[in-house]
Amino acid sequence: MRKNRRYRMWNITRGRQILSICAAVITLVCAACGERARPVKRIAIFQIKPQEWADALKLGFADGLQEQGLDVGRDVVVITKSAAGDPLGITTLAQTLVKQNYSAIYALGTQASQEVFQAASNDQPLIFGAVTDPVQTGFYDGSLDRPRKNITGTQDLWPYPAQFDLIKALIPNLQKLGIVYNSSEINSQVSVGFIKQECTKRGIQLIERTVTDDSQVSLAVAGVLTVGIQAFFIPADNTAQSNAQVIIAACMNKRVAVFTGIPGIVENGAVATVGTNYYQLGKVNAAQAAKILSGTPARQIPVQIADKGDLYLNMVSIKKLGLTVPEQLRKTAIKVYE
């Protein structure tokens, strides 16, 4: 009888141990399941096509998310979508993105941002990167403190007076400046407006040609070059910027200096710029995205403006053209390509 009692007690104790182990295992499994079931926050990056400034924005955005304490891949998944320059695919892709329940959509540049803005609901969190004029584009009603939808972002209004000071420093006797742009882009209209102001102020004759697509750029540039320009300026225009290498090659062949507001284009052969640091602008967008992910409505986050530029010089192109760079100017350059 005692033996049976001891046996029953041993069974009870052993059973309790097994139950405790099972409970612990179930707790761990449930915790793991809960971890897997936790909704993953996702951000979509939307761009029209690959461009130097857009790539810099994306790189700054990725690094900026890390600086905000977000582990890309674990805390947030970032998915990049590009229309690859297809005019018909841009609208379709934008309409698709707004239906896929992203925590935020980050659109690069004016055209991409316009497409997403038009397709999005009033509550879809939107972030625009490097939009020249968010008010004229229609994102805001009259001023940057009156958003029409749940939107925020960064404005890349180029420092045109400083850019033209640079052009005159390198080409003191500049009389004719050439530009080519797509007049259907709002960002181009704004950019050309500032260029015209600076030319008028400085007594420079502006020679301009407009295009509607990439295929017309080469012929338009050739037409500008026949007028005898001393310099060419690539404006805040997607069509011209996408064909920067075509423009640079044609101008260098005629010994005409090319200026722009995009540092990446200077690296690839343009003479110089006082341009926006798009990498740093991408980091600003990342800080805005972090606030959205933490629960702040995009419409409550102020737009950040890039109101100053950094000096970039391409000494290879400068030497080929026989231009002289004042020593003080060179000392202030943030980057010199040699």
Q: What is the pLDDT of residues 262-288, one digit of tens each?
A: 999 999 999 999 988 899 999 999 999
Question: What's the rounded mean pLDDT across residues 94-121?
Answer: 95
pTM: 0.76
Q: At what angle do helices 52-67 and 278-293 cross, to 10 degrees?
A: 50
Selection from 12-26, 27-41, 82-96 with the highest mean pLDDT: 82-96
pLDDT value at residue 38: 57
Residue 28 has pLDDT above 80, yes or no: no
Q: If DSSP states are collapsed to H, E and C, what string results for 201-245?
A: HHCCEEEEEEECCHHHHHHHHHHHHCCCCCEEEECCCHHHHHCHH
Compare 12 and 65 and report the one with higher pLDDT.
Answer: 65
Residue 198 has pLDDT above 70, yes or no: yes
pLDDT band at 307 (very low <50, low <70, confident <90, very high): low
Q: How far is CA 302 from the centre of its chain?
A: 17
pLDDT value at residue 99: 95
Compare 37 and 142 and report the one with higher pLDDT.
Answer: 142
CA-closest candidate to residue 166, choices 280, 264, 265, 257: 257
Residue 10 has pLDDT above 50, yes or no: no
The alpha-carbon radius of gyration of the chain (Å, integer) is 28
Half-sphere exposure of 67 (CA within 13 A, CB side): 15
Domain range list for the chain: 1-38, 41-156+277-305, 160-275+310-337
Question: What's the rounded mean pLDDT across residues 207-225?
Answer: 96
Among 161-165, 301-305, 307-311, the range scoring the smallest mean pLDDT is 307-311
pLDDT value at residue 196: 97
pLDDT, one tens digit per residue, over 226-268 is 999 999 999 999 999 999 999 999 999 999 999 999 999 999 9
Multiple choice CATH, 160-275+310-337, 3.40.50.150, 3.40.50.2300, 3.30.70.100, 3.40.140.10: 3.40.50.2300
Question: What's the rounded mean pLDDT across residues 65-85?
Answer: 92
The CATH classification number of 41-156+277-305 equals 3.40.50.2300
pLDDT value at residue 83: 86
Percent of the chain with pLDDT over 70: 88
Residue 128 has pLDDT above 80, yes or no: yes
CA-closest candidate to residue 100, choices 70, 125, 82: 125
- Assess whether the region 41-156+277-305 and the region 160-275+310-337 belong to the same CATH fold: yes
